[in-house]
Amino acid sequence: MSSRKRNVLAAVERIGYFGEANPVLAVELPATVELFAANQINIDRLHQAGIASTSASGAGLSETRSKVARAREIIADLRLIVKTAKIIEKKNNDFKNSFTMPRGGLTYQQIVERANSFIADAPANQAGFDKYALTAQFFNELKINVDGLRETSQEQADAKRTSVGATADIEAILEDTLDTREELDRALKNHYRDNPQKLAEWLTASHIERKRKTNEQPPPDENPTTP
């Protein structure tokens, strides 16, 4: 959770303790029974949503690492194929070398497309690759890795959508939480208007800490970039 959400959670938890410490409110101001109950539900929901959001973010990071690792393995295999194809081309005039790589980097989609192209063209030239230890098994394993990269990309997209959804859930719960706090705040300020001690206790319990502003400037860059 962000610091703002943590501060709201801390405040509503204190509100919960205040309600427990003042059971007489159930008699003096019956409407607060339902409001304190709603406050506790919101506390539970915030905890659960916070865990869900953290889990989703962790899943996204895990999938990203897996995706990068698979991509590197595939690129390494593609380079082996390219180097081997160049040797085959030198030794065989009839060999049409379609196993080439563009200059520069490749996107994940381009890696998949290039690998699938190599895999599709390999069977017709398998004898040449066999001579240099790039067997059919090698290309089968490459295909498995490519399929894995595609699956990882999909899982990463799913994890991202889940993370966005979890964040949206927290915002909705936070709105409900603040609405309940607002109702309690008005009811108890009115109820304790002639009781300074209890009013002060309530204000302390319900206070939401705000992020402090700072006038501090970041330190200068020790190695500024020159134009």
pLDDT tops 70 at residue 186: yes
- Give me the mean pLDDT over the 147-171 stretch: 61
- Give me the mean pLDDT over the 174-179 stretch: 90
pLDDT tops 50 at residue 169: yes
Higher-confidence position of 1 and 2: 2
Residue 122 CB burial class (10 angstroms; 0-12, 13-18, ≥19): buried
- Give me the mean pLDDT over the 188-207 stretch: 94
- Give me the mean pLDDT over the 81-97 stretch: 92
What's the start-to-end Cα distance of the chain, in Å? Answer: 40
> How many CA atoms lie less than 13 Å away from 89 in the CB half-sphere?
11
Rounded CA-CA distance 89/95 in Å is 6
In this structure, what token pair is assigned to residue 34?
């339902």
Read off the pLDDT band of 104 (50, 70, 90): confident
pLDDT tops 60 at residue 185: yes
pLDDT at 5: 80
Read off the pLDDT band of 141 (50, 70, 90): very high
Q: Give the least confident one: 22-31, 58-67, 193-202.
A: 58-67
Cα–Cα–Cα angle for 81, 83, 87, nearest 5°? 110
pLDDT at 55: 44
pLDDT tops 70 at residue 51: no
Three-state DSSP at 140 gives helix
Rounded CA-CA distance 169/167 in Å is 5
Can you say whether the dihedral through the CA atoms of 169, 172, 15, 2 is positive or negative? positive
Nearest to 67 by CA among 160, 141, 151: 151
32 close to 184: Cβ distance less than 8 angstroms: yes
Residue recorded with tokens 């409001």? 35
- pLDDT, tens only, 20-29: 899 999 999 9
81 close to 134: Cβ distance less than 8 angstroms: yes
